[in-house]
C-alpha cells in the first residue's frame, strides 16, 4: 500500500511503471534530446486511419457478402427465429435465420400471418364492391390496388374512362407513390437508427393524406378509383392543396439529403449491404425500386403505359449496385419524378366528367334520383345487384410503389368476379430477401428488410 | 402477334392461340407445359411475372386452369400461358426450375387449389397453416362463417 501511494499521478495520466520508465530531463544549453512523438500525435496518424479505412468508414467501399474465415462445424450453426412479432419486420414477417457465428447462411421467410382470404372474398363481392376489398391489400398504396382492379374490370367491360377521370387517377396514384415512398424512407431510417427520419417522413406523408381525406373522404382504404371512373370529383380548391405539397416537398427532400447523405453512419450501414444483382432480380421476378436499384431500367409506366401516363414527361431513376443505399436513392429520386408528373397533371387537368356516363355501370348523380324514376331504378339496381361483366379473363398490371401490381380477373358473365387474383409485388419481392441476406452479417438484417419495403397486407392478402 | 410469339406458334402445333382483350393467350396441353415454357424462356421471356389458377368446376371437363403470365423485358411483350388440369390428382410440371421467381406463386397455387407441381423444390403450404385441411380457393370450399357469441343472444328471438 505504501508503495502505491508514493507513485504520483500527474495530469490524469496513468502512473508510469518505474521499471521501464526512464526520465529524460532536458537541461537548457545541453545537447538537444532525441525527438519522441507524444500520445496526441499517434492519435492523429495511426495505422487504422489510413485512406482505405476512411473509405470504409464513409461507406465508399462496396463489399457485400462478408465471408466468415474459419470453418464452422455443422453443429455450431444456430437457427434464430425472428418475428412475427418484431418491431422491425414491418408487420408480421417471420424469418428463420441460419447463422454461423454472426454470418447469415440461409434465410427462410415464413408468411401467412396476415392472410385473410381476400381473393376468396373478392368472389363474394360485386364488381362495384370490389375496390373496397383490393384497397386493403397494399395498405400503403391503396389507390394503386384500386387502379389495377378497375382497369381490369374496364377492359372486360370494354369501356374507356373520360380524360378527366384518367388524369385524376394519375394524380392520385402518383401522390400515393410519394406517400408510400415517404413511409419507406421513414421506416428505413428508423430501423437503421436515424430516428428523426421517422418523424419527418410521416409528417410529410400526412400532408398528402390530408389531401386524400379531402378528396376521397378517407386517409387510407379510399375506395375512390372504381370501375367506370372515380367516386367523386376533386374538391374545390384542390389546386392550392396540390401546389402546397409541390412547394413543400422539394425543400423537405433537401433536408432529408442533409440528414442522411452526409451521415457516415447511414452510409456505412447502407452501402454494400444487401446486394442483389440484376440477374438475380430478374430470375426471382423482383420488380419496382428493388429491380431498378440493380440498374435495370424497367418501369411499367414506360413499358406498358396506362391511364394516359405516357403523355407526361418523367425519368426512370436507376441505381448501380443494387444495395440498400441504391434502393433508398431510387425511392428518393422517384419522389422527385412523381412530383414532376403531379405538377404536369395539375397544369393540364382536362375538363369534363369524372366517370363514364353509362348508368348501367356508374350510379346517377344523387340529385337526379329525386327527379327521375329511371335514375332511381339505376341507382337501386347498381347498389343491390351490381353490373354484369361479359365473360372473359384479363390481366392488367400497374406500377405500384413496390413494383408490378397485376390484377387477373375472370368473369363468367355475372355481377361478381368468378376469380380475382392479385399479383402482389411484395409477395414476389420477398423472394429476394434470402438472396440479399445470404452470407451477410446478422446486424444488416434489419437494414435489408427495411429496404425491401414489404407490406405484409400485400404479401399475405 | 409479335415476331417472337409467331416463332413459338410455329414450333408448337398443339398449342392453341387466342386473343383475349388485346392480350396473347396460349392454351398449352399439360404434357407440353414445360417444353413450351422452356422455349418461351429461350425466345426472350426472362420473367415469369405470375402463376395462378382458376377452378372451372362446372363449366369445363378439366376442372382447373393453371395460368402463368410471362413477360419479356427486352421485347416488351406479355404472354399468358394456360393449361387445363384434371380433377383427379391435379398436377402439372413446375416452372420453378426455369424461373426461380415462380417458386412462391406455385406454392400459393398448391396451398389454395391443391394443384401439385412436379419438380418444385419446396412444395409446402405458404399462406395457410401447415395443418389446414382443404384448399380454400376451390369452388367447393364454402366460405363459411364463425359463430359469434353475443352476450345477450339467448334473449333474442
Residue of A nearest to B56 (CA): A418
Domain contains A199: yes
Exposure of A218 by Cβ count < 10 A (0-12 exposed, 13-18 middle, 19+ buried)? middle
Chain A neighbors of B128, CB-CB under 8 A: 112, 115
Average pLDDT on A156-176 reads 92
Contact present, B85 and B138 (Cβ < 8 Å): no
| Residue bearing the bigger pLDDT, A25 or A280 | A280
Is A104 among the domain residues? no
Record: contact A298-B73, CB cut-off 8 A: yes
Peptide bond connecting A88 to the previous residue in cis, omega within 30 degrees of 0:
no
A46 inside 8 A of chain B by CB: no
Question: How confident is residue A52, by pLDDT bands cut at 50, 70 and 90?
Answer: low
With beta carbons under 8 A apart, name residues in chain A contacting B48: 285
- Residue A421 is part of which domain span? 118-158+161-355+390-457
Q: Reduced to 3 states, what is the DSSP secondary structure of residue B136?
A: coil
Furthest C-alpha separation in chain B? 72
Q: Give the per-residue pLDDT at B131.
A: 86
Average pLDDT, chain A: 83
What pLDDT, on the 0 to 100 scale, is given for residue A70?
Answer: 53
CATH 3.20.20.70 fits B3-155, yes or no: no
Q: Does the beta carbon of B129 lie under 8 angstroms from any beta carbon of chain A?
A: yes
Mutation target vs B (from A298, A412, A418, A428; most B CBs, 10 A cutoff): A428
In contact, A450 and A104? CB cutoff 8 Å: no
Query: Residue A447 and residue A329: Cα distance in Å, rounded?
Result: 14
B136 interface with A at CB cutoff 8 Å = yes
Q: What tens digit of pLDDT does each residue of B100-123 get?
A: 889 899 999 999 999 999 988 888
Q: Does A112 sit within 8 Å of B129, measured CB to CB? A: yes
B75 touches chain A (CB under 8 A): no
> Of all residues in chain A, what percent carry a pLDDT higher than 90?
38
Q: Is position A335 within any domain? A: yes
Give the domain ranges of chain B. Answer: 3-155
Q: Residues B21-75: pLDDT tens digits? A: 888 999 999 888 999 999 999 888 999 999 999 998 888 888 899 999 999 998 8
CB-based burial label for A461 (10 Å; 0-12, 13-18, 19+): buried
CATH of the domain at A151: 1.10.645.10
Q: Which of A157, A395, A425 to mutate to test the interface with B (most CBs of B within 10 A)?
A: A395
Q: Tell me: pLDDT of A132 over 90.
A: yes
Residue A1 has what DSSP assignment?
Answer: -
Confidence of residue A401 (pLDDT cuts 50, 70, 90): very high
Confidence of residue A23 (pLDDT cuts 50, 70, 90): low
In a domain, residue A407? The reply is yes
A413 belongs to a structural domain: yes
| Among A212, A206, A290, residue whose Cα is nearest residue A249 | A206
- Whether A428 sits inside 8 A of B55 (CB atoms) is no
Residue pairs spanning A and B at CB distance below 8 A: 89
A154: nearest CA partner in chain B: B21
Contact A296 B21 (CB under 8 A): no
pLDDT surpasses 70 at A33: no
Fill in the DSSP letter of residue B153.
G
Q: pTM for this one?
A: 0.83
Query: Do B52 and A408 count as a contact with CB atoms less than 8 A apart?
Result: yes
CA–chain centroid gap for A444, Å, is 17
Inspect the interface and report whether the beta carbons of B126 and A111 lie closer than 8 Å: yes
Instruction: Say whether A428 and B104 touch across the interface (CB within 8 A).
Output: yes
| Each residue's pLDDT tens digit, A360-400 | 888 888 888 888 888 888 888 888 888 889 999 999 999 99
Can you give the pLDDT at residue A338?
A: 93
Residue A208 — very low, low, confident or very high, per pLDDT cuts 50/70/90?
very high
3 state DSSP class of A392? strand
The answer to whether B34 faces chain A, any CB pair under 8 Å, is: no
Report the range of poorest mean pLDDT among A84-98, A214-228, A240-254, A336-350: A84-98
Least CB-CB distance to B21: which of A115, A155, A427? A155
d(CA A299, CA A292) in angstroms, rounded, equals 8
The reply to whether B18 touches chain A by the CB within 8 Å rule is no
Helix (H, G, I), strand (E, B) or coil at A350: coil
Residues ≥6 apart with Cβ < 8 Å to A310: A301, A302
β-pair type (B77-85, B23-27): parallel
**Residue A247 forms part of a structural domain:** yes
Q: How far apart are CA B98 and CA B39, in angstroms?
A: 10
Number of structural domains, chain A?
Answer: 1
pLDDT value at A88 more than 80: no
Per-residue confidence (pLDDT) for residue A65, from 0 to 100: 47
Of A66 and B96, the one with more pLDDT: B96
Q: Smallest CA–CA separation between A392 and chain B, in Å?
A: 7
pLDDT for position A58 = 56
Q: How far apart are CA A178 and CA A250, in angstroms?
A: 12
Residue A110 within any structural domain of the chain: no
Query: Is A229 contained in some domain?
Result: yes
The answer to whether B105 contacts chain A (CB < 8 Å) is yes
Instruction: Pick B126's closest partner by Cβ from A112, A155, A304.
Output: A112
Between chains, do A124 and B143 touch, taking CB under 8 Å as contact? yes
Amino acid at each position: 500500500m505504501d508503495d502505491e501511494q508514493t507513485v504520483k499521478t500527474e495530469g490524469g495520466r496513468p502512473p508510469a511503471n518505474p521499471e521501464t520508465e526512464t526520465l529524460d530531463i532536458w537541461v537548457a544549453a545541453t545537447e538537444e534530446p532525441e525527438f519522441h512523438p507524444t500520445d496526441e500525435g499517434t492519435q492523429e496518424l495511426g495505422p487504422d486511419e489510413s485512406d482505405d479505412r476512411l473509405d470504409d468508414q464513409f461507406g465508399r467501399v462496396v463489399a457485400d457478402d462478408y465471408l466468415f474465415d474459419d470453418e464452422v462445424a455443422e453443429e455450431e450453426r444456430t437457427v434464430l427465429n425472428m418475428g412475427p412479432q418484431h418491431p422491425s419486420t414491418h408487420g408480421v414477417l417471420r424469418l428463420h435465420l441460419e447463422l454461423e457465428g454472426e454470418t447469415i447462411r440461409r434465410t427462410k421467410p415464413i408468411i401467412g400471418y396476415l392472410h385473410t382470404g381476400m381473393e376468396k372474398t373478392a368472389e363474394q363481392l360485386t364488381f362495384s364492391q370490389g375496390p373496397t376489398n383490393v384497397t386493403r391489400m397494399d395498405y400503403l398504396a391503396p389507390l394503386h390496388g384500386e387502379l389495377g382492379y378497375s382497369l381490369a374490370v374496364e377492359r372486360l367491360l370494354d369501356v374507356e374512362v373520360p380524360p378527366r377521370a384518367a388524369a385524376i387517377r394519375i394524380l392520385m396514384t402518383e401522390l400515393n407513390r410519394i406517400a408510400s415512398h415517404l413511409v419507406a424512407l421513414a421506416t428505413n431510417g428508423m430501423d437503421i437508427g436515424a430516428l428523426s427520419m421517422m418523424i419527418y417522413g410521416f409528417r410529410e406523408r400526412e400532408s398528402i393524406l390530408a389531401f386524400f381525406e379531402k378528396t376521397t373522404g378517407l386517409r387510407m382504404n379510399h375506395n375512390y378509383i372504381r370501375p367506370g371512373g372515380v367516386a367523386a370529383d376533386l374538391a374545390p380548391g384542390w389546386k392550392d392543396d396540390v401546389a402546397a405539397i409541390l412547394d413543400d416537398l422539394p425543400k423537405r427532400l433537401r433536408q432529408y439529403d442533409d440528414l442522411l447523405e452526409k451521415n457516415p453512419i447511414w452510409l456505412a450501414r447502407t452501402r454494400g449491404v444487401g446486394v442483389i444483382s440484376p440477374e438475380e432480380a430478374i430470375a426471382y421476378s423482383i420488380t419496382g425500386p428493388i429491380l431498378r436499384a440493380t440498374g435495370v431500367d424497367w418501369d411499367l409506366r414506360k413499358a406498358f403505359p396506362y391511364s394516359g401516363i405516357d403523355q407526361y414527361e418523367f425519368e426512370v431513376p436507376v441505381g448501380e449496385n443494387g444495395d440498400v443505399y441504391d434502393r433508398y436513392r431510387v425511392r428518393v429520386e422517384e419522389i422527385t419524378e412523381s412530383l414532376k408528373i403531379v405538377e404536369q397533371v395539375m397544369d393540364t387537368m382536362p375538363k369534363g366528367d369524372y366517370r363514364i356516363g353509362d348508368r348501367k355501370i356508374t350510379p346517377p348523380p344523387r340529385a337526379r334520383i329525386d327527379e327521375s324514376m329511371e335514375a332511381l331504378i339505376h341507382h337501386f339496381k347498381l347498389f343491390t345487384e351490381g353490373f354484369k361483366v361479359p365473360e372473359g379473363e384479363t390481366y392488367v398490371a400497374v406500377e405500384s410503389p413496390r413494383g408490378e401490381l397485376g390484377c387477373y380477373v375472370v368473369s363468367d358473365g355475372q355481377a361478381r368476379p368468378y376469380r380475382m387474383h392479385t399479383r402482389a409485388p411484395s409477395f414476389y419481392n420477398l423472394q429476394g430477401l434470402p438472396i440479399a441476406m445470404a452470407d451477410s452479417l446478422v446486424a444488416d438484417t434489419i437494414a435489408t428488410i427495411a429496404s425491401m419495403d414489404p407490406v405484409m397486407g400485400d404479401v399475405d392478402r | 402477334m409479335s415476331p417472337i410469339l409467331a416463332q413459338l406458334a410455329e414450333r408448337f402445333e398443339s398449342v392453341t392461340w387466342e386473343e383475349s382483350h388485346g392480350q396473347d393467350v396460349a392454351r398449352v396441353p399439360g404434357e407440353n407445359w414445360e417444353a413450351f415454357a422452356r422455349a418461351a424462356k429461350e425466345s426472350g421471356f426472362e420473367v415469369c411475372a405470375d402463376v395462378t389458377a382458376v377452378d372451372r368446376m362446372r363449366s369445363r371437363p378439366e376442372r382447373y386452369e393453371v395460368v402463368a403470365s410471362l413477360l419479356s423485358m427486352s421485347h416488351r411483350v406479355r404472354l399468358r400461358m394456360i393449361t387445363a388440369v384434371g380433377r383427379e390428382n391435379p398436377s402439372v410440371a413446375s416452372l420453378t426450375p426455369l424461373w426461380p421467381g415462380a417458386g412462391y406463386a406455385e406454392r400459393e397455387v398448391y396451398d389454395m387449389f391443391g394443384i401439385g407441381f412436379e419438380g418444385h423444390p419446396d412444395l409446402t403450404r405458404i399462406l395457410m397453416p401447415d395443418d389446414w385441411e382443404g384448399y380454400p380457393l376451390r369452388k367447393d370450399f364454402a366460405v363459411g362463417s364463425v359463430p359469434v357469441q353475443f352476450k345477450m343472444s339467448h334473449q333474442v328471438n
